[in-house]
Amino acid sequence: MTVQEHDDVREWLESVAAPPSRLDIDAAVAAGRARVRSQRRLRTTVAVAVLSAVAVVGLPAAAGVWPHDGVPSPGSSAPSTSPTPAGCTMTWLTPPDGLRHEGPTKWPPIRVTGMDPTGRYVVGVVAEGGASNVPAVLWYDGVARVLPEVAWDSTVLVHSDGTVLAMRTDGNDRRSAWIYRGGSTNALPVPIGYRQVSEVSGINRVGDVVGIVERSDPTRTSDVVVWRAGARSRPEVLRGPSDHSGNAGIADDGTVVATSGGVVFRWLPDGSGKPLPLPARTVRGSVVAVRGHWATGVAEGIRESTASGVQQAITVAARWDLRSGAVDVIPNPDNGSVEMPMPVHNPVLRGLNAAGDVTLGPPYNALLRGGRVIRLPAPPKVPGTMSPVAVDDTGTIVAGTFVDDSRTAFPPQQLPVTWRCP
Amino acid sequence: MSPELEREYCEYIRARWSRLHRAAFLLCGDAHRAEDIVQATALTLYVKWSRVKAADNFDAYVHRVLTRQFLGQRRLRWAGVLLTDRPPEVAVAPPDIEERDAVSAALAQLAPGQRAILVLRFFCDQSIEATAAALSCSVGNVKSQSARGLATLRRLLSPPESSGPPAGDRPVRAYGRRSTRRGSMS
């Protein structure tokens, strides 16, 4: 072939205009840093030491004062936090101005749905009653903004590089999973043979995303799906022993945990899967959260009263170390018992960090950090319930929602908050 | 990575992203896979940046990473997955989509290794030796596969023999007209 013919080939190839590609250099660097950290952690295997090196970032000076009637309005010199004897302080996260409205509450109810492992990003959704798609809010160091897409479902998570994961429901009730990053929004692809993404429920340190997909065939069976970082166009489906329900989570090494027919199932990064053990005296379980190399969940069993012979259902909070597969029980912070009664409609066990610390919602309202029980305070003299949903990797920042029951409006005013527990 | 190394990495990625993405698109022919390939390449380069900088042939190292991402992705079991529900923001048609389609369609008919060789040699301007190193094969193999790939590309992008001058004088840049006869390419 001649030089001229080589030039022709070059022209052919140069003539191919690739579709536009947008470089997000911050995301590339963040992903690189995360990968380096992950590799370093694997090499050293001193997970706790690495976790303690995660930067502790102060909560925002920009956070607002408590918005309840009877306390000073924003802009006053009133203290913005509510101290407790345990040392935790609660801070209200000011919503973005774009959501402000007239009326006694000034803001719509907002429910916090997630926080990243560094504690700098917090996400939430407007909790207007009955709406399937609502605005979502992203706080960074306490400064809020509304995400550009106006229609989000209730599931919104955030990664430490600012990537937000969310669900949408279209007019035909079909659900889809979306990634918002650097000002653009992209759908996560649905695998062949599947009808929709039912839920996106976790993202690990390197950016692997896990969710649940529903088959197109008449069985409508659900399977676990993973979109690996750097290969999100090619989702991997993981099939378990039976239909999947509830949450799925992904550990930093790529291990996936999900619930399949009452069994808590674990897939290792090589694709092999097997059930995780359940705590003693329990017969079925479900996973709630996965972070770092930990997973938490709820296990159920039967207790027979020796006095009356009556059988009684019990619930136990379980925590698995995914490196060894071992399970232990998170003790009831009120009495030290292995049993932890949980309200059906208000998930108790939500927050989990890479050190294995957990948050407990009502009636416990606590952060369990390194074996210590740290109570999360409510604002003084305000009746209501709190719902902590996430804890950062240092175990000092908890994000959640306080539901102010002092008002008569429906839905009750929901206030995005963080607790700082040094 | 030190701030200085990170700054150098960012400068390099900013400068080369578009070119790397185009090379990835030529290799795989799919916009979304190209995005994945170039992002995975950027990630690998970040992790190995000190080694990349120290390489004798900087560009050859980068292209080797890119090519291996492409070939590695092909081996994964979900390589053929259907993509749906992508947002319209990346679906803007380029002005000369027919020409692009003709060359892309011709490239798609080559074996992955042949395609990689042509892209590395004639789009990334890599030498035969560097191409062989990137693909972990011999120089002779690059030469033979290159010749076969080019012959196939010529055949697919040139007008039919029956209506033109002798083969040696045939125009090779006929793909613009080719798009009106796409049915005959199969």
Question: Mind listing the pLDDT tens digit for each residue in B7-19?
Answer: 888 888 888 888 8
- Write down the pLDDT at residue A32: 81
Total count of domains within chain A: 1
CATH code: domain B97-186 is: 1.10.10.10
**Is A362 inside a domain boundary?**
yes
Q: Half-sphere exposure of residue B8, counting CA atoms within 13 Å on the CB side?
A: 12
**Is A2 inside a domain boundary?**
no
DSSP label at residue B38: H
Q: Which of residues 39-78 of B touch A (CB under 8 A)?
A: 39-40, 42-43, 46-47, 73, 76-78
**Is A255 inside a domain boundary?**
yes
Closest residue to A16, CB basis, from B80, B85, B104:
B104
B120 in reach of chain A (CB within 8 A): no
For chain A, 422 residues long, give each residue's pLDDT as a single digit of tens.
566 667 778 888 888 877 777 667 777 787 788 777 766 665 553 333 322 222 222 223 233 333 433 332 322 223 234 444 457 999 999 888 878 777 667 788 888 999 999 999 999 988 765 555 678 899 998 888 888 664 566 678 999 988 999 988 877 778 899 988 877 888 999 999 999 998 899 999 999 999 999 999 888 888 999 999 888 889 999 987 777 777 899 999 999 999 888 899 999 988 888 899 999 889 999 999 999 999 999 998 887 766 666 777 889 999 999 999 999 999 999 888 888 888 766 678 999 999 999 999 988 999 999 889 999 998 877 778 889 999 999 999 999 999 877 665 555 678 899 999 99
Residue B183, pLDDT above cutoff 60 = no
**Is A117 inside a domain boundary?**
yes
Closest residue to A25, CB basis, from B14, B25, B76:
B14
In the predicted model, what is the mean pLDDT of chain B? 70
In a mutagenesis test of the B interface, which of A2, A6, A16, A172 is the best target, namely the one with the most B β-carbons within 10 Å? Answer: A16
Interchain pair A6, B47: CB under 8 A: no
DSSP label at residue B83: P
- Write down the pLDDT at residue A49: 30
Q: What is the pLDDT of residues B40-50, one digit of tens each?
A: 888 889 888 88
Range of the domain at A164: 23-420
Q: What is the pLDDT of residues B80-93, one digit of tens each?
A: 333 333 333 333 33
- Write down the pLDDT at residue A401: 92
- Write down the pLDDT at residue A72: 28
- Closest chain B residue to A206, measured at CA: B43
- Write down the pLDDT at residue A60: 30
The answer to whether the B1-92 and B97-186 domains have the same CATH topology is no
What gap in Å lies between CA A197 and CA B84, rounded to an integer?
Answer: 11
Instruction: Give the lowest-confidence range in A160-164, B72-76, B176-180.
Output: B176-180
Interchain pair A21, B1: CB under 8 A: no
> Sheet containing A110-115: which strands, arranged edge to edge?
A110-115, A121-126, A136-140, A143-146
**Is A9 inside a domain boundary?**
no
**Is A365 inside a domain boundary?**
yes
ipTM of the complex: 0.71
**Is A299 inside a domain boundary?**
yes
Q: What is the pLDDT of residues A51-91, one digit of tens each?
A: 222 222 222 323 333 343 333 232 222 323 444 445 799 99
Domain containing residue A255: CATH number: 2.130.10.150
Q: Which fold has domain B1-92?
A: Rna Polymerase Sigma Factor; Chain: A (1.10.1740)
- Write down the pLDDT at residue A310: 72
Q: What is the pLDDT of residues A11-45, one digit of tens each?
A: 888 888 777 776 677 777 877 887 777 666 655 53
- Write down the pLDDT at residue A233: 87
- Write down the pLDDT at residue A403: 84
Interchain pair A36, B14: CB under 8 A: no
- Write down the pLDDT at residue A316: 93
Q: What is the pLDDT of residues B54-71, one digit of tens each?
A: 777 778 888 888 988 887
Interchain pair B73, A187: CB under 8 A: no
What gap in Å lies between CA A316 and CA A136, rounded to an integer?
Answer: 33
**Is A336 inside a domain boundary?**
yes
Closest residue to B82, CB basis, from A31, A39, A192:
A192
Portion of chain B with pLDDT greater than 70, in percent = 69
Q: Please report residues of A whose CB lies closer than 8 A to that of B175.
A: 12, 15
Residues near A312 by Cβ (< 8 Å), separated by ≥ 6?
A: A302, A303, A304, A305
Closest Cα to residue B56, out of B135, B129, B141?
B129
- Write down the pLDDT at residue B74: 52
- Write down the pLDDT at residue B155: 81
Closest residue to B47, CB basis, from A12, A35, A234:
A35
For A205, A255, A320, A390, B117, the CA distances from A228, given in Å and listed in that order, are 11, 12, 23, 23, 28
Residue B134, pLDDT above cutoff 50 = yes
